[in-house]
Structures are given as structure tokens and as C-alpha cells.
Amino acid sequence: MSLFTLGLARGLFGQVLGMVVGMLLTCGVRILLGWEAWAAEPAWTVGSVCSIIGFLLAVGALDDWLQWTKGVATPIHHGPPVDKPAWTRYFSVDYNHKVIGVQYTVWGILLLMVGGTVAMIFRTELARSGLQFLGLDLYNSFIGMHGMIMIFAILLGVGGMANYLVPLMIGAEDMAFPRLNALGFWFNVPGSVLLLVSIFIGGWDAGWTAYPPLSARGPIGYQLFFLGVFAIGLSSIVGSLNLLVTLLRMRPAGMSLFRMPIFCWAVFATSLIQLTATQLIGTSFLMVSVQRALGMGFFDPRGILGEVSPMVGGGDPVLFQHLFWFYSHPAVYIFVLPGLGIVSELLPVFSRKPLFGYKWIALSSMAIAIVGFIVWGHHMFVSGYNDILRIPFMYATLLVAIPTGVKFFSWLGTMWGGKIHFDTPMLFVLGAISVFLIGGLTGPILATVPTDLPLHDSYFVVGHFHATMFGGFVFPFFAALYYWFPKVTGRMYNETLGKIHFYIMTPAFWVQTLGQMGVGVMGMRRRIADYDPTLGQGQIENWQLAVTIAGFAIAFGVMLMLWNFFQNAEVGVAAGDNPWRSRSPEWQIPSPIPEHSFPAPLHVVGEPYDYGLADSGYVTTASPGDD
């Protein structure tokens, strides 16, 4: 078996080849036009586009479609590859949603580790004032990298959970479009490779938001960054399209929308945002990219009339912020809605009680998704746009607190009077609620114009943001990993190690987020490598050190979790089919799940969350008339 048996290795080789071909193509065209053959920026830009195509061709994600253009039918091959070891399917194009879900999750965790490592590096730098070992440019590239890699990681984590769970929860054999599903995953690999490579050709030192004019004049790394984000964005769009069609057309008999497992509602709302808003980050980044490559002055304020009327015909960097935040604010709801869906999904299982207010939770996800489209301007209170716009954006933003509050109270209602089992997944759910509460309560402070103005661009924002991301994604994601680990592997993780992970990570995160907010109030700015040690009556260094130590503690906790999973995936105690006594369809079939999941179409015979109600079921594979 050679290395190229693995699609991943073939793909990466194809990516390098594509890059070289793209660069040669650029040189060739320039020679034909009579220009100097080599110019770094166009060569890297065209090379990056070709490298993504090269990867997809080499990995084989486009094979079937290329056959279809020739009129050749390509039935889907089910099961592991015939002439290769079974494990290789995880490293190659495979159309089974369970394999793709694992691919998404593992690639997401890998990026989580890269992004975390980068954070550890600059957190170490920040533990003391003054510059120790990072230069200013590298520091800026690193914080931008931490931001964008973590966003990739979260999108991959969301994709992993959604792809693995949604078909199982609605009793479908697979997603509606299995080939598109695989393509959606494989877009992420060349995208993240471009992002990581860009650090070696100058990085992108204006941060992950890539505001022009800085990004329009920054290093070439920005072109790779834009195209990397483009690839991930394509993955988001085709992935969400697939999930929406699956949810709308493949539910079994009797599963009305309000009888789906609640996680499906969260995915539905998330997919609506991903499908539409993602286009706008692509558009805005493409505009900066062509401004750099072709001199198209979308965001270049220099006008065309010279001294007569200097502004006419000039671009406007504020337009970029509008387009960018039109995606990037709803993006945080893409991150948190599935996480909050996991919280709602797990609470009834571990409280042994029905989910309190099912319809309200389902509709609150939709409400957050819809309101999320009209709040982007709260990122721009100090951008210099028309002052009048501040008011509607402020009220719209505060409106988000209502559906979020609905979720909180229904979680409390679910736990109230329940027989709560404090297993590791439940602990992480409770951790998620506590952390998301911190993020939620600091939200209105930043949404309100008078309090946002002094706090804007301070570490207070960083603290708030990390609380929402950890409470809305990281904690629920970890809960989901622990909860479905026995389903995916058929083995149980080590409960003690899981609990140690929780008890290290949760207090550490409280220290981190509150510490970040604290140094922010003392006057610490975002995206600056150094700070004045006399801030906060000379206490800021101690706070920064505490945040750094807390960050390392979180990293240690994550390592513990991965060690736990790694140890037990093959040799752990057999978990049984339904260790959590869940009613959800995926727990009614063997672990690990067979190739085709369900032996026969499902029939819904009851409500999804009637825990504690004797003789009630949710789904059955037998037809109602059987026996």
C-alpha cells in the first residue's frame, strides 16, 4: 500500500501541483502580454485558486460529477473500500455521512489544537509587559490566525455534529446529496492549508477581520487568506444546502417539524444563515482581493476627479465593514445555535424529564437566526457611519436577548424537579450554561451605544466574545463529544478523566474570561502586543498572568480529553447500545452504527422528549400494523 492510496496525501500533492501550474500559467500570460514574467502577488493568487482545484481533483471529490458530464452513471459504493484497509476510508473521499461527520470533527479538533497553540504563544508573550519574543508583525499575524483558524475549527465542529447526527436523528440513511456532502468536507482541507501556508509568505497582520485599507496594502499572505476563507465558505454553503434539503424532504412518516429532535431545529436555523449570509463575506473578501490584484478601487477612497471634487469616484472602507459584518455577525449564531441545540438535546436525557417548552425553544432558534440578520451594525458604532443608524442597530441587538432568554428559562424549567445525573456530558452542559450566561449578560453592555463607545476594541470585547464562543460552542461541543463517543466507537470513555477535564476547564475558563474583561476595563486594547504595566494601579500584569495560566489550564484539559478518547476508542469498556437511556433514534440501533444505520424506515409513534412517561416511545422501525 503506497502513501497515495490515501486520498488526503493525493490531494495535498495535487494542491502543490495546482499551485505550481497556476504560477506557471500566470508567468506565461504575463510573458504573452509582454510584461515581466514573475510578479509575486498575481502568481500566488492564481496559484492558490488552482491549488484548491488541484486538491479537489486529486483527492477525487469531483470524480463522479466529471463522469456525469460524459453521461456515465456512477452508483454509490457503500461500505469500506474493497481493496484497501477499512480505516483508509477516513482519509479518502467517502460518501457515508457518518464517515464525513467524523472527518469534519477530527479535522476541526486538529485546527482547534493549532489555533489553541497559537493562542498559547501570544498569551505567553502577554503574561508580562514589554516585548519578550514576538515581533509586532508576527504578533498581529498570530492573533489574526488564532481568530480565523478557530472560526474554521468551529465551522468544522458544527459541520461534524450536523452531518453525523441529523440523518440519524430523522432516521434517514444518508444526507440528501452524499457527493455534495463529501465535497463540502474536502473544501476545508485546501482552505486550511492555504491559511496555514500564508504565514510563511508574510502572514496577514491586520487581523481576521481584514479591514481595508490595511488589508488592501498588507502582505501577500492576505490573498491566500481570502481564498482559504472562500474555500471554507463554499463548504458552508453546500453543507447547509444539503442539510436543509435533508431536513425538509427526508423525515420519516409522522415526524412533523415540531416532532424532530430539537438539535435538528438548531441545525435548520443555522443552515438558513449559512446558506445566505456566507455569500457576503465571500463578496467582501473578493472585492479586497481584486482591489489588490487588479486595482479595482472598491475601498480605495481616492476619487477620480482630482482636486475638483476629491471624493467623487472614491471607494469607501466602511462599505467593507457593512458587507463583512452582514455575514460575520450572523456567523456567531452559526457557531452558537447548534451548541445551544446540544444543550437542549442533552438536558432532558440527563434530567429524565420532558424538554420544557419544546416549541418555544425551536422557534427561539429561528428568532435568533432572523434577528441576527439585522444587528450587524453594532460592530460599527465607532466606524463613523451615520449616527442615526446606531439606534435601530442597538435595539435590534438588545432584541436578541429575548429568544436567548427563552432558551435559558426553558433549560431551567427542564432541570427543575428532575432526577439529574451528573455524568461528564451533563457537567459540560451545565458548564456551557454558566459560561454562556457570562457571555449573555455582558452582551447588552456592548450592544448599548453609550457603554460600547469606551469599551470598543478593548479586551472587554475579547472576554465577552470568548464567553459566548465557549458557552455557545466549545462546552456543548465537548459535551457532544463525550455524549456520542460511545455511539461512534461503541466504547465508553474514562468517566474520572472526563470529570477531571471538566473541573479543570470550567474554573479556568471563568478566570480567563473575567480576567480578559478585567484587563479590558483597565484599558488593555485588542491587537496590541504590548501594554502599559501601570494600568489598573499596576495590577494589570498579575491579571494578564492569571489569564495566561488559565489558558494553559484549558489547553491541558483539552489534551486530557483527547488522551481519554484516544485511549478508549479501540480498547475501552463496551458501552452498549444506549448507555444514556435516550429516546433519540440514533440510540435505538447498535453502536458503532452499521453502514446503513436503520434496518427499515422509521415510524414516529410519540413525542421526542417524554422522559419519565411509562410505556411511551418516540420511534419504531416496525410499521404500526406489524407484530
Partner 1 sequence: MTVTAVEHGHEPGHAADDHHDSGETDLPTYLENTRRNRLGMWLFFASEAFLFLGLLVTRFYLWRGPHGEIVRPELDQFAGLVVTAVLLLSSYFMNRAEVSIANGKRTDFQISLLLTAFLGTAFLIGVVVWEWGMFPSLVKGHLKPTDGVFGAVVFGMTGMHALHVLSGVILILNVWWLGRKGHFSAERHWGVEACAIYWHYVDLVWIFFYPAIYLIGSTIDIPH
Query: C-alpha angle 105/106/108, rounded to 5°?
Result: 65
Our CB check for partner 1 shows the closer of 283 and 567 to be 283
The residues, ordered by sequence, that sit 6+ positions from 336 with a Cβ below 8 Å of its Cβ are 436, 468, 469, 471, 472, 473
- The alpha-helical segments, DSSP class H, found in 357-420 are 358-371, 390-399, 401-415
**For residue 374, how many other CB atoms are within 10 A of its CB?**
17
Compute the distance between CA of residue 311 and CA of residue 286 in angstroms, rounded to an integer: 23
Q: Least distance in Å: CB of 417 to partner 1?
A: 31
Indicate which single residue of 290, 374, 389, 401 sits in contact with partner 1 (rule: CB under 8 A).
290
Q: Which stretch binds partner 1 (CB under 8 A): 314-322, 453-461, 480-488, 491-499?
A: 314-322
Compute the distance between CA of residue 261 and CA of residue 602 in angstroms, rounded to an integer: 14
Indicate which single residue of 161, 189, 194, 275 sits in contact with partner 1 (rule: CB under 8 A).
275
User: Whose grid coordinates read 438558513?
Assistant: 272
Q: Which three cell numbers stand for residue 570?
A: 479501540
Mapped onto helix, strand or coil, the DSSP state of residue 574 is strand
DSSP conformation letters of 608-619: TT-TT-TT--SE
Our CB check for partner 1 shows the closer of 268 and 482 to be 268
Between helix 401-415 and helix 390-399 the angle, nearest 10°, is 10
Compute the distance between CA of residue 95 and CA of residue 123 in angstroms, rounded to an integer: 40
Indicate which single residue of 4, 110, 258, 302 sits in contact with partner 1 (rule: CB under 8 A).
302
Interface pattern 577-606 for partner 1 (x via CB under 8 A): -----------xxx---xxx-xx-x-----
Compute the distance between CA of residue 95 and CA of residue 100 in angstroms, rounded to an integer: 7
Compute the distance between CA of residue 319 and CA of residue 332 in angstroms, rounded to an integer: 20
Our CB check for partner 1 shows the closer of 79 and 507 to be 79
Our CB check for partner 1 shows the closer of 564 and 582 to be 582
* Greatest Cα-to-Cα distance within the chain, rounded to the nearest angstrom: 88
Q: Examine residue 68 and tell whether it contacts partner 1 (CB under 8 A).
A: yes
Our CB check for partner 1 shows the closer of 112 and 277 to be 277
φ, ψ at 525 (rounded to 5°)? -90, 155
Our CB check for partner 1 shows the closer of 430 and 589 to be 589
Burial (CB count within 10 angstroms: exposed 0-12, middle 13-18, buried 19+), residue 599: exposed
Say how far residue 273 (Cα) sits from the centre of its chain: 13
Q: Within 249-268, which residues bind partner 1 (CB under 8 A)?
A: 249-250
Our CB check for partner 1 shows the closer of 174 and 541 to be 174
Q: Which stretch binds partner 1 (CB under 8 A): 70-78, 329-337, 410-418, 492-500?
A: 70-78
Q: Which of 512, 477, 498 is nearest to 120 (CA)?
A: 512
Q: Least distance in Å: CB of 351 to partner 1?
A: 25
Q: Which three cell numbers stand for residue 46?
A: 492564481
Q: Examine residue 305 and tell whether it contacts partner 1 (CB under 8 A).
A: yes
Q: Least distance in Å: CB of 66 to partner 1?
A: 11
Interface pattern 608-627 for partner 1 (x via CB under 8 A): ------------xx------
Query: C-alpha angle 547/549/550, rounded to 5°?
Result: 60
Our CB check for partner 1 shows the closer of 110 and 253 to be 253
Indicate which single residue of 45, 198, 223, 291 sits in contact with partner 1 (rule: CB under 8 A).
291
Interface pattern 105-124 for partner 1 (x via CB under 8 A): --------------------
Q: Which stretch binds partner 1 (CB under 8 A): 41-49, 192-200, 281-289, 433-441?
A: 281-289
Q: Within 219-238, which residues bind partner 1 (CB under 8 A)?
A: 237
DSSP conformation letters of 247-260: HHH-PPBT--GGGS
Q: Least distance in Å: CB of 383 to partner 1?
A: 14
Q: Could you tell me if 248 and 177 are in contact, meaning their C-beta atoms sit under 8 angstroms apart?
A: no
Indicate which single residue of 5, 124, 276, 539 sits in contact with partner 1 (rule: CB under 8 A).
276
Number of H helices, E strands in the chain: 19, 2
Q: Which stretch binds partner 1 (CB under 8 A): 178-186, 188-196, 215-223, 540-548?
A: 178-186
Our CB check for partner 1 shows the closer of 109 and 275 to be 275
The residues, ordered by sequence, that sit 6+ positions from 466 with a Cβ below 8 Å of its Cβ are 439, 512, 513, 516
Residues in the chain: 627
Indicate which single residue of 242, 328, 494, 544 sits in contact with partner 1 (rule: CB under 8 A).
242
Indicate which single residue of 278, 328, 442, 548 sits in contact with partner 1 (rule: CB under 8 A).
278
Indicate which single residue of 295, 417, 450, 625 sits in contact with partner 1 (rule: CB under 8 A).
295
Q: Which stretch binds partner 1 (CB under 8 A): 39-47, 114-122, 240-248, 257-265?
A: 240-248
Q: Which three cell numbers stand for residue 562?
A: 483527547
DSSP-assigned letter for residue 7: H
Q: Within 521-540, which residues bind partner 1 (CB under 8 A)?
A: none
Compute the distance between CA of residue 158 and CA of residue 164 in angstroms, rounded to an integer: 10
Q: Least distance in Å: CB of 197 to partner 1?
A: 26
Indicate which single residue of 277, 488, 524, 550 sits in contact with partner 1 (rule: CB under 8 A).
277
Q: Examine residue 457 and tell whether it contacts partner 1 (CB under 8 A).
A: no
Q: Which stretch binds partner 1 (CB under 8 A): 191-199, 262-270, 297-305, 555-563?
A: 297-305
Indicate which single residue of 41, 63, 173, 610 sits in contact with partner 1 (rule: CB under 8 A).
173
Q: Examine residue 370 and tell whether it contacts partner 1 (CB under 8 A).
A: no
Q: Which of 325, 427, 6, 459 is nearest to 189 (CA)?
A: 6
Cα dihedral sign, 97-472-206-396 = positive
What does the binding site for partner 1 look like in residue numbers (CB under 8 A)? 68-69, 71, 73-76, 78, 172-180, 237, 241-242, 244-245, 248-250, 275-280, 282-284, 287, 290-291, 294-298, 302-306, 309, 311-316, 319, 322-323, 326, 588-590, 594-596, 598-599, 601, 620-621
